Amino acid sequence: MTKMNRILSIMLILALSASMSAAKTPSELTPTDCKSIFPGANSSEATRTLASGVRWTEAWEHGAWGPPEEFLGYVFLKSMQHDGKTIDVLVGMTSTGVISKVRVKGLNGVDEEFLAQFRDKTLQDNFDLVRTPEDLLFVPVKIKAMQRNLALSESIAQGVKEIAKAANKVIM
C-alpha cells in the first residue's frame, strides 16, 4: 500500500467515525421546543440528561406585568430511530405529572389526532396500543394507532412510555 493510499484510508476511517458519532449525539432541547409545548414559555432552565438518555428542562413564563415568573411545567425529549431517521419525541408535563402535549420533531405526517390521545394521561397510565377490538373495552382506553402506520405509532408510544418512566424520577 502506498503512502497516499494509507493517508486516504486513514482519512476515510476518521470521516466515518466522525459521522457515526454525530449520528449518536442526542438532540438538543431548545427554547423553541419549550414554546412548541408551552406557548407562553419565554425561558427555560438548563437542560439535564437522565441515565436513560431522556433530556428535560423546566419551562417558565416571564411576565412584564404581575409575578416575575410562573412555572409552566416540564419538557422532556427522547431521541429515537425510526426507519433510519432520528425522530425526537417531545412531551410536556405539568408539575403533577399530567401530559399536556406530545409533539414529534424530525418527521412529517404524524397525525395530530394520534398525538392528542396522550393528552391528560398521567405517569401511571398505560401507553400500549390497541391490538384487538377487546382492547377498546379497557378503561382508560388504550392508544389507537395511526391508520396504515402501526410501526411509527408503536415507536412514538414507546418513546412516551420511556419519557413517563424517566419523568417519575424528576417529578415525584
Residue range of the domain that includes 92: 26-171
Evaluate whether residue 30 is within a structural domain: yes
Q: Do the beta carbons of residue 90 and residue 37 sit within 8 Å?
A: yes
CA distance 110 to 117: 13
- pTM of the full structure: 0.79
Residue 67 confidence (pLDDT):
61
Evaluate whether residue 140 is within a structural domain: yes
b/e map of 81-112 (b: 16 or more CB within 10 Å)?
ebeeebbbbbbbbbeebbbbbbbbbebeebbe
**Would you say residue 43 has pLDDT above 60?**
yes
Summarised one tens digit per residue, pLDDT across range 49-106 is 999 999 999 998 875 555 667 889 999 999 999 888 999 999 999 999 999 999 999 8
The amino acid occupying position 105 is K
CA distance 92 to 90: 7
Evaluate whether residue 52 is within a structural domain: yes
CA distance 132 to 172: 33
Evaluate whether residue 6 is within a structural domain: no
Residue 98 confidence (pLDDT):
96
Lookup result for grid cell 417558565: 60
Helix, strand or coil for residue 150?
A: helix
Domains of the chain: total: 1
Evaluate whether residue 5 is within a structural domain: no
CA distance 74 to 8: 48
Evaluate whether residue 11 is within a structural domain: no
pLDDT, mean over the chain: 83
Evaluate whether residue 144 is within a structural domain: yes
Residue 172 confidence (pLDDT):
75
Evaluate whether residue 120 is within a structural domain: yes
For the chain, the 3-state helix, strand and coil shares in percent, each to the nearest 5, are 35, 25, 40
Summarised one tens digit per residue, pLDDT across range 143-160 is 999 998 999 999 999 999
Q: Do the beta carbons of residue 129 and residue 145 sit within 8 Å?
A: yes
Write phi, then psi, for 120 (nearest 5 degrees). Answer: 75, 5
